[in-house]
Copies of this chain bind each other. A is one copy, B any other.
Amino acid sequence: MRVLVTGAAGFLGSHLCDRLLDEGHSVVGMDNFITGSRENLAHLAGEERFLFIRHDVSNFIFVPGKLDAVMHFASPASPNPHSPFGYVNLPIQTMKAGALGTHNTLGVAKAHNARFLLASTSEIYGDPLEHPQTEGYWGHVDPIGERSVYDEAKRFAEALTMAYHRFHGIDTRIVRIFNTYGPRMHTDDGRVVPNFLMQALRGQPLTVYGDGQQTRSFCYVDDLIEGIYRLLLSDEHRPVNVGNPDEITILEFAETINQISGNQGIAFHPMQRGDGDPQRRQPDISRARELLGWLPVVGLREGIRKTIPYFEEKLSLLHENRIKDPSSGRPGTGS
């Protein structure tokens, strides 16, 4: 296949490109570098089956040559309100990527008679009133809240994708992606994984809000990409949750990180209104299991071990002053 991946320089987009190339496909990567990073694609320099086009998906898209699949992964995706990459600080770009970007990428799929896969998100469930969330849950989203620039853009993108499927017969897929971690994630993403890892590698006590009994579910990026790749090859048009349903308390998670990294200490702080990380969300992955035969296989300890070298490298670059510390001066909103 020849596959267009938008958001190719992002955390998930770049892993997706790698996987597609590993499977022998050709990839056209597209990114405007608003939140994506050149470093995430640096290792593909010289790869003959990889073509990169710098472009903003909210403008009309032209791709030379044939395409067999279009995978729309372009969007700011960090909920960290203190990061310049956070979608609340890129509200118009986020809504354009979700609406105009989805419209344009669906147009490309239509023009090329290619299958289309939308990267949707657990955020379409908003602040859910049901646990765990099945794909049949309609969600609980404030349409005019600060986070609506992301949530409503993705809900719109899903609705538009289904409209193209129903009305134009486009061969579409929708994946609802839950909390994912791994190499190439933003170090100031504002979520608990990068916050804890950066603190642990700096030898600082990990910041836990409240008593740490609140829970999270984390999926290692390789597992996620496996699920997405299986969905692409499937015939399933309805949305499919892909994420790791294993819940862990923040306190257990902090202890695990300290254990693996050889760090010590946990600093308890009063609970804050979590404006960064989502409220509790946990995927029901019955459909992914039944339709795709997919299950996450990387345990948390193994995933963290695989992620640490990336954060160590980032940190050593910070120490060498070769890159600016993106988290300096900003409070963590980790848990």
Contact = CB atoms under 8 A, between A and B. Distances in A.
Contact of A138 (B103, B143, B146): B143
Contact of A159 (B126, B140, B152, B162): B152
A144 interface: yes
Given A138-B126, A167-B92, A148 B144 contact: no
A95 B156 contact: yes
Interface string A285-322: 00000000000000000000000000000000000000
A162 B152 CA distance: 12
Interface residues of A, number: 37
A163 interface: yes
Copies of this protein chain in the complex:
2
Interface string A150-192: 0111011011101110111000001000000000000000000
A116 B153 CA distance: 20
A148 B143 CA distance: 14
A164 B98 CA distance: 16
Which 7 pairs show the lowest CB-CB distances between chains A and B?
A152-B159, A99-B99, A148-B159, A91-B163, A156-B156, A143-B155, A144-B162
A100 B100 CA distance: 7
Contacts of A91: 163, 166-167
29 contacts: A91-B163, A91-B167, A92-B160, A92-B167, A95-B156, A95-B159, A96-B103, A99-B99, A99-B100, A99-B156, A99-B160, A100-B100, A100-B103, A126-B138, A138-B140, A138-B142, A141-B155, A143-B158, A144-B158, A144-B159, A144-B174, A144-B239, A148-B158, A148-B163, A149-B160, A149-B163, A151-B159, A152-B152, A152-B155
A142 to B, nearest CB: 5
Contacts of A212: none
A238 interface: yes
A141 B141 CA distance: 10
A139 interface: yes
Interface of A: 91-92, 95-96, 98-100, 103, 124, 126, 138-144, 146, 148-149, 151-153, 155-156, 158-160, 162-164, 166-168, 174, 238-239
A152 B126 CA distance: 14
